């Protein structure tokens, strides 16, 4: 496994399955009275959030705390970050505090990559969403949720068909999901109006469609991406109504899915825009479950990355007798 | 008891030896516990688990009642993450009876530094509060680093630190044997 | 005072000794001819290297006035001399903007004081580069700086009416508008070349069409009003095609390409290191091939550095926060040698044409870009094409360090630079006492 988790492309199939398997074991800890594990006692995990994202921040905080790490949270609002302190100076501060892992959310694509490769810090860097680039732990929790429902909770996702719908152009979730789901053997179809498809999407490991009704029949899962109504002001689509009619998920469309097909949404949802309330709260929806799974997947990521990073020498220590 | 020399090292316990040891330990546990009424056997992952199942099965034969048996994964409780890194997790399966107010016997293959047992005790205390905790091991090879001892020992095998003790269980490895290597 | 430059090969041809007096070449004779041992003459050893007319840069950012922490006229023109340049054109996007006779005269005067090379200010086309109304182009043309190139470089003159007027107006004093071709609406928030890679990296794209559509419009405008137009830092294959078409049609258009667009590609954005962030952005390998071909066949007239110094904090940051631009003066000739000479695309006369003769002609500089001949100014550069060297910010006079070529072996080292008979660089070292002449 790579030292950092910056992109879903950093993960091999074995890496991804190892994370999902570890998360599955860790999920069982949630069922017992003492939910905390001592694994990362004495390690410092910093949540560095240049962009507001309460749900992702809380999810990482919960994950780190359940592993007994010391958690420090830097949020943009009210900190030196909002007073114009540079990424570099913030990083140097964290380094001085001895951060073992830095979880970074930033509005600029590539900021976590920059942090990991600039030499400013030594710790493990986990991308918690950067600009319109990637959000690999979201993809992992989506894969975990898909695997739980579609593959009996083990192995990969060979042959499963997943449709991702919405503002692909501006979506870090879509980028990471296409990469990871492809790595896990799923077949991904992206659906959006052509204006919300990135240039060069034809080179991505997925198929592309402009027609939701054509893409949905028989699919095992559909993932709806948040579409901001402001996009219509930049002429990406004419009106919210037209968007909903052509690309929104309603009960009729959800019924086109395979018999046990599920509906995902990374949140926060725009009810009435990309998804109707009936579908969001309906029997196929696994949206609330995604949140729970997020904590387990992030625990697994922290455990595996910090565990890998701290082995100084690859001494094949004899297992027997211990 | 045989001490056959194989190219990989010397075999100190063979399949029959292990069978006898399991039988003896099962008797000792039952004798000490005065029956099986609140007994739970938990095997420490990985080779403690088949051992625990065989001890429980033997006790069931002797007593005629089923003994709850489960597994304990101590990976997340280890104190050597920075030395050995992250390892894959195994299942922790606690029998439906739970561990609260029960006599829990932890089972492992080899007792060495004692750190695994220390981690197992921590893991166990996060699951519940047993009445008594005891430890059964197939082999005690010495070199303790913590003030711990086993209640039931299959065989004491003096070793040097540069040797290793390899336990193979037929469920996992296709053969029952204990070999000292190096 | 007489100086003899021994054993140099003009345009890479047969070795000669070049003698000059009072800044004018007085004799060129086969190397080693004993007649030249004039008593009291200074002698410079040319080591058998190539001698070319002094290089002329049409596109330089010297940052003074306003950002003297990043570069000054003195530090930038010293870097220029080390790169073999004897004239540079200082872009107008300073603070204050070079949009009045006062500012351009100040820049001109500072250049003379520094003395490393001729510093010709470029005048802004519009007041404050705001694209709203014409600056006093005539006053700048008539000033001591004798401005002939006008540009809002950094921003595009996007208003077609304003562009038309500017093209027409400068005809009165044989000026030229140098257009920074970038449609502003198509490039809002743009971070890198738009294509498959920008989609993967999640960086806002800068599409080729934003450059090409402006070039197409402006060559048609130039044709319509009978003016000449110059295209700054052309970067795409499509732009080369449009300029080639315009020239075939007889339109008076000239174009420049930067050294970095001749050698670097968009793949460097994968590092997310703003060192490689530049405007226009690094393009695809196909575009690099097309601009090289355009430079070779003369569609692209000149190599211009777009030397853009930036303070460390403007590059030591995330990509989106980073400033556009990279250093170029000291590395330009090496890049041209690597990409054009060693590949056989240009011979040394071709290099002299694209880096000296044509830029001097476009800028209407009478005493630069002249042939190496008796009676011509002794303004020249001696370059050893075999030598390799590495960029070292600590040894550069530039106040900035944002070269994209750090750690890379550069081919061809400038040994000597001579400006009207006076050496500004000898054996690769700046001649500081020469300054102020």
Check whether residue C127 and residue C182 sit in a common domain.
yes
B90 burial (CB, 10 Å; 0-12 / 13-18 / 19+) is: middle
Check whether residue C424 and residue C388 sit in a common domain.
yes
Q: Which domain holds residue B148?
A: 10-181
Q: Residue B113's domain is classified under what CATH number?
A: 3.40.50.2020
Last residue of a domain, one of C362, C385, C404: C362
Min Cα–Cα distance to chain B from A133, Å: 28
Q: Evaluate whether residue B5 is within a structural domain.
A: no
Please tell me if residue C321 touches chain A, with a CB cutoff of 8 Å: yes
Q: Evaluate whether residue B3 is within a structural domain.
A: no
Check whether residue C255 and residue C354 sit in a common domain.
yes
Residue keyed to tokens 């970067």: C235
Cβ neighbours of B115 in A, within 8 Å = 322
Q: Residue B49: which of B94, B88, B13 has the closest Cα? A: B94
> Based on the structure, what is the number of domains in chain B?
1
Q: Is A317 a catalytic residue?
A: no
Q: Which domain holds residue C411?
A: 2-51+374-434
Q: What are phi and psi of C210, to 5 degrees?
A: -65, -30
State yes or no: chains A and B have 3 or more CB pairs below 8 A: yes
Residue B34 confidence (pLDDT): 87
Residue keyed to tokens 């725009």: A270
SS3 labels along C341-399: HCCCCCCHHHHHHHHHHHHHHHCCCCCCCCCCCCCCECCEEEEEEEEEEEECHHHCCCC
Each residue's pLDDT tens digit, C130-177: 999 999 999 999 999 999 999 999 999 999 999 999 999 999 999 999
Q: Which of A87, A109, A201 sits opposite C202 (nearest CB)?
A: A109
Q: Is the pLDDT of residue B121 over 60?
A: yes
Across the interface, whether the CB atoms of C196 and A200 are under 8 A apart is answered yes
Q: Evaluate whether residue C368 is within a structural domain.
A: no
Across the interface, whether the CB atoms of C198 and A200 are under 8 A apart is answered yes
Min Cα–Cα distance to chain A from C73, Å: 29
| Cα–Cα distance for residue pair A158/A183, rounded to 1 Å | 9
Please tell me if residue A119 touches chain B, with a CB cutoff of 8 Å: no
The beta-carbon contacts of C20-24 under 8 Å, at least 24 apart in sequence, are: C20/C378, C20/C421, C21/C421, C22/C421, C23/C377, C23/C378, C23/C420, C23/C421, C23/C422, C24/C375, C24/C376, C24/C377, C24/C378, C24/C421
Q: Which of A114, A118, A133 sits opposite C202 (nearest CB)?
A: A133
Burial letters B21-39, b for 16+ CB under 10 A, else e: bbbebbeebbeebeebeeb
* Contact criterion met (CB below 8 Å) for A220 and A160: yes
Across the interface, whether the CB atoms of B85 and A307 are under 8 A apart is answered yes
Q: Evaluate whether residue C146 is within a structural domain.
A: yes
Residue A200 confidence (pLDDT): 94
> Based on the structure, what is the number of domains in chain C?
2
Residue A79 confidence (pLDDT): 60
C308-335 mean pLDDT: 96
Please tell me if residue C203 touches chain A, with a CB cutoff of 8 Å: yes
Q: Residue A157: which of A292, A281, A250, A262 has the closest Cα? A: A262
Across the interface, whether the CB atoms of A131 and C205 are under 8 A apart is answered no
Residues A212, A218, A223, A225, Cα dihedral to 10°: 0
Token digits for C314?
Answer: 């403007």
Helix axes C237-248, C285-297, angle to 10 degrees: 30
Q: Is A83 a catalytic residue?
A: yes
Across the interface, whether the CB atoms of C195 and A131 are under 8 A apart is answered no
ipTM higher than threshold 0.90: yes
C21 burial (CB, 10 Å; 0-12 / 13-18 / 19+) is: middle
| Cα–Cα distance for residue pair C93/C203, rounded to 1 Å | 26
Q: Is the pLDDT of residue A51 over 50?
A: yes
| Cα–Cα distance for residue pair C181/C235, rounded to 1 Å | 10
Residue B182 confidence (pLDDT): 83
Residue A317 confidence (pLDDT): 37
C311-323 mean pLDDT: 94
Each residue's pLDDT tens digit, C35-84: 555 678 899 999 999 999 999 999 999 999 999 999 999 999 999 999 99
| Cα–Cα distance for residue pair A303/A40, rounded to 1 Å | 7
Residue A83 confidence (pLDDT): 57
Check whether residue C193 and residue C309 sit in a common domain.
yes
* Contact criterion met (CB below 8 Å) for C140 and C101: yes
Cβ neighbours of B98 in A, within 8 Å = none
Across the interface, whether the CB atoms of A130 and C201 are under 8 A apart is answered no
| Cα–Cα distance for residue pair A18/C269, rounded to 1 Å | 31
| Cα–Cα distance for residue pair C239/C212, rounded to 1 Å | 5
- H or E stretch covering C79: helix C73-82
Last residue of a domain, one of C315, C341, C362: C362
Residue C69 confidence (pLDDT): 96
Check whether residue C229 and residue C296 sit in a common domain.
yes
Burial letters B148-172, b for 16+ CB under 10 A, else e: eebbbbbbebebeeebbbbbbbeee
* Contact criterion met (CB below 8 Å) for C180 and C203: no
Each residue's pLDDT tens digit, A213-272: 999 999 999 999 999 877 777 889 999 999 999 999 999 999 999 999 999 999 889 999
Within 50-89 of B, beta carbons closer than 8 Å to A belong to 73, 76-78, 81-89
Neighbours of chain A (3+ CB pairs under 8 A): B, C
Cβ neighbours of A310 in B, within 8 Å = 81-82, 85
Please tell me if residue A130 touches chain C, with a CB cutoff of 8 Å: yes
Check whether residue C71 and residue C152 sit in a common domain.
yes
Residue A208 confidence (pLDDT): 98
Residue A29 confidence (pLDDT): 83
Planar angle of CA B132, B133, B136, nearest 5 degrees: 135
Check whether residue C154 and residue C257 sit in a common domain.
yes
Q: What is the mean pLDDT of chain C?
A: 96
Each residue's pLDDT tens digit, C88-143: 999 999 999 999 999 999 999 999 999 999 999 999 999 999 999 999 999 999 99
- Please give the share of chain A, as a percent, with pLDDT higher than 70: 93
Q: Which of A88, A133, A172 sits opposite C317 (nearest CB)?
A: A88
Residue A84 confidence (pLDDT): 62
Check residues A35 and C166 and name the one with the higher pLDDT: C166
Min Cα–Cα distance to chain A from B63, Å: 31
Cβ neighbours of A88 in C, within 8 Å = 313, 316-317
Domain layout of chain A by residue ranges: 8-134+292-309, 136-290
Residue A315 confidence (pLDDT): 37
Residues A114, A115, A120, A124, Cα dihedral to 10°: -140
C368-395 mean pLDDT: 96
Q: Is A113 a catalytic residue?
A: no
Candidates 3.40.50.10800, 3.40.50.1370, 3.40.50.920, 3.90.1300.10; CATH matching A8-134+292-309: 3.40.50.1370
Domain A136-290 has CATH 3.40.50.1370: yes
Check residues A76 and B182 and name the one with the higher pLDDT: B182
C209-232 mean pLDDT: 98
Check whether residue C288 and residue C393 sit in a common domain.
no
Residue A314 confidence (pLDDT): 36
Q: Which of A137-146, A151-160, B49-58, C349-358 has the lowest average pLDDT?
A: A151-160
Residue C79 confidence (pLDDT): 98
> Which residue in the list A4, A57, A133, A135 is annotated as catalytic?
A135
Residue C433 confidence (pLDDT): 55
Is A136-290 the same fold as A8-134+292-309? yes
- Cβ neighbours of residue A318 closer than 8 Å, sequence gap 6 or more: B164
Residue B9 confidence (pLDDT): 84
Q: Residue A168: which of A297, A60, A274 has the closest Cα? A: A274
Across the interface, whether the CB atoms of A38 and B77 are under 8 A apart is answered yes
Annotated catalytic sites of C, by residue?
A: 306
Q: Evaluate whether residue B2 is within a structural domain.
A: no
Q: What is the mean pLDDT of chain A?
A: 91
Radius of gyration of chain B (CA): 16
Check whether residue C294 and residue C405 sit in a common domain.
no
Residue A321 confidence (pLDDT): 40
| Cα–Cα distance for residue pair A166/A40, rounded to 1 Å | 38
Planar angle of CA C416, C419, C422, nearest 5 degrees: 80
Residue A32 confidence (pLDDT): 81
| Cα–Cα distance for residue pair C285/C275, rounded to 1 Å | 19
Across the interface, whether the CB atoms of A131 and C316 are under 8 A apart is answered no
Token digits for C170?
Answer: 């400068």
Check residues A318 and C118 and name the one with the higher pLDDT: C118
| Cα–Cα distance for residue pair A242/A248, rounded to 1 Å | 9
Q: Is the pLDDT of residue C435 over 90?
A: no
Cβ neighbours of A76 in C, within 8 Å = none
Min Cα–Cα distance to chain C from A126, Å: 16
How many Cβ atoms sit within 10 Å of the Cβ of residue A93?
16
| Cα–Cα distance for residue pair C233/C181, rounded to 1 Å | 8
Min Cα–Cα distance to chain C from A116, Å: 11
Check whether residue C301 and residue C411 sit in a common domain.
no
Q: Which of A15-19, A153-157, C142-146 has the lowest average pLDDT?
A: A153-157
Q: Evaluate whether residue C230 is within a structural domain.
A: yes
Cβ neighbours of A34 in B, within 8 Å = 126-127
C214-241 mean pLDDT: 98
- Please give the share of chain A, as a percent, with pLDDT higher than 90: 76
Q: Is the pLDDT of residue B84 over 90?
A: no
- Confidence band, pLDDT 50/70/90 cuts, at residue C344: very high
- Confidence band, pLDDT 50/70/90 cuts, at residue A35: confident
Residue A316 confidence (pLDDT): 34
| Cα–Cα distance for residue pair B110/B142, rounded to 1 Å | 10
* Contact criterion met (CB below 8 Å) for C38 and C26: no
Min Cα–Cα distance to chain A from B168, Å: 10
Check whether residue C280 and residue C429 sit in a common domain.
no
C217-236 mean pLDDT: 98
Q: Is the pLDDT of residue C383 over 70?
A: yes
Within 138-157 of B, beta carbons closer than 8 Å to A belong to 141
Q: Evaluate whether residue B4 is within a structural domain.
A: no
The beta-carbon contacts of B155-158 under 8 Å, at least 24 apart in sequence, are: B155/B12, B155/B13, B155/B17, B155/B21, B157/B12
Residue A313 confidence (pLDDT): 33
Last residue of a domain, one of C302, C333, C362: C362
Residue C437 confidence (pLDDT): 42
Check whether residue C345 and residue C415 sit in a common domain.
no
The nearest alpha carbon in chain C to A112 belongs to C318
Q: Is the pLDDT of residue C431 over 80?
A: yes
Neighbours of chain C (3+ CB pairs under 8 A): A
Residue A233 confidence (pLDDT): 79
Cβ neighbours of A22 in B, within 8 Å = 88-89
Across the interface, whether the CB atoms of A199 and C205 are under 8 A apart is answered yes
| Cα–Cα distance for residue pair C388/B95, rounded to 1 Å | 74
């Amino acid at each position: 496994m790579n030292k950092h988790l910056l992109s879903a492309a950093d993960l091999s199939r074995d890496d991804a399955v190892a994370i999902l398997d570890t998360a599955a074991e860790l999920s069982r800890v949630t069922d017992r009275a003492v939910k905390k594990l001592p694994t990362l006692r004495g390690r410092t995990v910093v949540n560095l959030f240049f962009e507001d994202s309460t749900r992702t921040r809380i999810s990482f905080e919960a994950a780190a705390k359940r592993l007994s790490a010391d958690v420090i949270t830097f949020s943009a609002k009210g900190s030196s970050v909002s007073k114009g302190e540079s990424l570099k100076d913030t990083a140097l501060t964290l380094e001085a505090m001895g951060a073992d892992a830095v979880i970074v959310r930033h509005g600029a694509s590539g900021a976590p990559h920059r942090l990991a490769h600039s030499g400013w810090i030594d710790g493990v860097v986990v991308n918690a969403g950067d600009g319109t680039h990637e959000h690999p732990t979201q993809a992992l929790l989506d894969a975990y949720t898909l695997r739980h429902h579609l593959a009996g909770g083990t192995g990969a996702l060979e042959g499963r068909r997943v449709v991702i719908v919405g503002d692909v152009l501006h979506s870090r979730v879509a980028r990471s999901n296409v990469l990871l789901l492809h790595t896990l053997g799923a077949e991904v179809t992206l659906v959006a109006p052509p204006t919300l498809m990135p240039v060069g999407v034809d080179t991505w490991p997925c198929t592309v469609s402009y027609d939701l009704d054509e893409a949905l029949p028989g699919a095992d899962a559909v993932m709806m991406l948040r579409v901001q109504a402001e996009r219509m002001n930049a002429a990406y689509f004419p009106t919210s109504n037209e968007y909903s009619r052509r690309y929104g998920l309603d009960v009729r469309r959800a019924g086109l899915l395979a018999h046990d097909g599920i509906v995902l949404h990374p949140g926060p949802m725009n009810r009435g825009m990309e998804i109707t309330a009936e579908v969001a709260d309906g029997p196929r929806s696994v949206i609330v479950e995604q949140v729970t799974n997020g904590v387990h997947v992030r625990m697994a990521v922290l455990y595996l990355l910090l565990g890998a990073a701290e082995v100084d020498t690859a001494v094949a220590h004899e297992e027997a007798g211990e | 008891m045989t001490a056959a020399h194989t190219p990989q090292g010397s075999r100190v316990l063979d399949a029959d030896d292990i069978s006898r040891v399991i039988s003896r330990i099962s008797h000792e546990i039952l004798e000490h516990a005065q029956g099986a009424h609140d007994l739970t056997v938990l095997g420490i992952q990985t080779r403690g688990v088949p051992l625990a199942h065989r001890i429980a099965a033997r006790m069931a034969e002797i007593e005629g009642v089923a003994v709850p048996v489960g597994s304990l994964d101590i990976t997340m409780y280890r104190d050597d993450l920075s030395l050995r890194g992250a390892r894959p997790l195994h299942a922790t399966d606690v029998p439906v009876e739970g561990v609260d107010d029960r006599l829990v016997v932890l089972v492992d293959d080899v007792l060495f530094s004692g750190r695994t047992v220390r981690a197992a005790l921590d893991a166990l205390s996060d699951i519940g509060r047993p009445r008594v905790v005891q430890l059964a091991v197939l082999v005690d090879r010495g070199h303790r680093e913590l003030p711990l001892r086993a209640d039931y020992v299959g065989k004491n095998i003096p070793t040097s630190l540069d040797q290793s003790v390899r336990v193979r269980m037929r469920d996992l490895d296709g053969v029952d044997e204990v070999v000292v290597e190096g | 005072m007489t100086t003899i430059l021994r054993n140099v090969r003009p345009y890479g041809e047969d070795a000669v000794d070049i003698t000059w007096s009072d800044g004018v070449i007085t004799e060129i004779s086969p190397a080693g001819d004993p007649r030249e041992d004039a008593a009291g003459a200074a002698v410079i050893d040319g080591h058998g290297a190539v001698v070319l007319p002094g290089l002329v840069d049409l596109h330089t950012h010297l940052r003074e006035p306003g950002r003297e922490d990043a570069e000054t006229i003195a530090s930038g023109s010293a870097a220029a001399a080390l790169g073999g340049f004897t004239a540079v054109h200082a872009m107008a996007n300073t603070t204050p903007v070079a949009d009045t006779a006062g500012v351009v005269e100040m820049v001109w005067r500072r250049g003379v004081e520094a003395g490393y090379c001729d510093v010709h200010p470029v005048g802004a086309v519009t007041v404050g580069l705001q694209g709203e109304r014409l600056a006093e182009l005539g006053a700048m043309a008539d000033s001591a700086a004798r401005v002939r190139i006008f540009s809002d470089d950094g921003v595009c003159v996007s208003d077609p009416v304003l562009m038309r007027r500017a093209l027409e107006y400068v005809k009165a004093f044989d000026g030229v508008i140098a257009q920074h071709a970038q449609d502003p609406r198509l490039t809002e928030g743009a971070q890198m070349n738009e294509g498959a890679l920008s989609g993967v990296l999640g960086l806002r794209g800068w599409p080729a069409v934003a450059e090409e559509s402006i070039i197409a419009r402006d060559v048609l405008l130039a044709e319509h009003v009978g003016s000449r137009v110059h295209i700054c830092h052309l970067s795409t294959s499509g732009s080369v095609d449009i300029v080639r078409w315009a020239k075939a049609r007889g339109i008076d258009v000239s174009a420049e390409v930067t050294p970095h667009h001749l050698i670097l590609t968009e793949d460097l954005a994968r590092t997310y290191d703003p060192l490689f962030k530049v405007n226009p952005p690094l393009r695809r390998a196909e575009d690099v091939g097309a601009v090289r071909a355009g430079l070779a066949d003369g569609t692209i007239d000149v190599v211009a550095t777009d030397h853009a110094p930036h303070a460390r904090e403007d590059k030591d940051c995330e990509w989106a926060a980073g400033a556009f631009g990279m250093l170029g003066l000291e590395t330009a000739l090496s890049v041209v040698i690597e990409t054009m000479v060693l590949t056989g695309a240009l011979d040394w006369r071709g290099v002299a044409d694209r880096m000296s003769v044509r830029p001097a002609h476009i800028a209407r500089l009478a005493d630069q870009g002249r042939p190496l001949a008796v009676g011509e100014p002794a303004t020249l550069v001696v370059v050893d094409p075999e030598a390799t060297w590495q960029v070292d910010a600590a040894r550069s006079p530039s106040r900035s360090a944002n070269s994209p070529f750090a750690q890379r072996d550069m081919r061809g080292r400038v040994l000597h630079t001579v400006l009207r008979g006076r050496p500004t660089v000898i054996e690769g070292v700046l001649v500081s006492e020469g300054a102020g002449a």
